Amino acid sequence: MDSTAKVRLASSADAEELSRLNQEFNGGVTRPAAKIREHLNINRNELIAVAEMNGRIVGFGCGQCYSSFCYDEPYGEITELYVEEAARRQGMAMALIACLEENFRQCGVKSIKVLTGSSNTAAISTYEQCSYVKDDEQLLVKSLGD
């Protein structure tokens, strides 16, 4: 990773840049910065990490910490990971993953899940480089409509 790059947990001051990056990544209706600020202040189960290069936010990663009476320990899930095209191949994604993992550890998480498209070879390779392994679980989805 470039020496002018750093990764940290997001703050409400990052809302505008998170809105921009989320739009690049997910498309659809733009998430207003005000809603992102509100979310950052109230959702204690979500971790949001940002990657900065030369003082500009160029990527983000999100993770959720889940607890259940069914399990002794909470588990984590990395739900989003995005780095701008110009900042890729510089270790930013791996640094975002490491930041999320360290914060998961602080929450008592010992196991992390990741869901990504089976054809997203770049993402799969990045996660595998971070010691994630494929398992045999199947994803089933149902839309509940409006």
Of 102, 121, 32, 104, nearest to 64 by C-alpha is 104
Contact 97, 90 (CB under 8 A): no
| DSSP states along 63-107 | EEEE--TT-SS-EEEEEEEEE-GGGTTSSHHHHHHHHHHHHHHHT
| Secondary structure (3-state) at 87 | helix
pLDDT digits (tens, 9 = 90+) for 82-139: 999 999 999 999 999 999 999 999 999 999 999 888 899 999 999 999 999 988 888 7
Alpha-carbon span 5 to 2, nearest angstrom: 5
Q: What is the pLDDT of residue 51?
A: 97
Lookup result for tokens 């160029």: 58
Q: Which residues pair with 45 in a beta bridge?
A: none
Q: What strands, in cross-sheet order, belong to the sheet with 112-114?
A: 5-9, 46-53, 56-66, 75-83, 112-114
**pTM: predicted TM-score of the whole model, two decimal places:** 0.90
Of 59, 73, 69, nearest to 112 by C-alpha is 73
Give me the count of residues in the chain. 146
**49 pLDDT exceeds 90?**
yes
Lookup result for tokens 């045999």: 136
**140 pLDDT exceeds 90?**
no
Confidence bin at 2 (pLDDT 50/70/90): low
- Domains of the chain by range and CATH? 5-129 (3.40.630.30)
Lookup result for tokens 């930013």: 92
Residues of the chain above pLDDT 90, percent: 71
Alpha-carbon span 65 to 76, nearest angstrom: 5
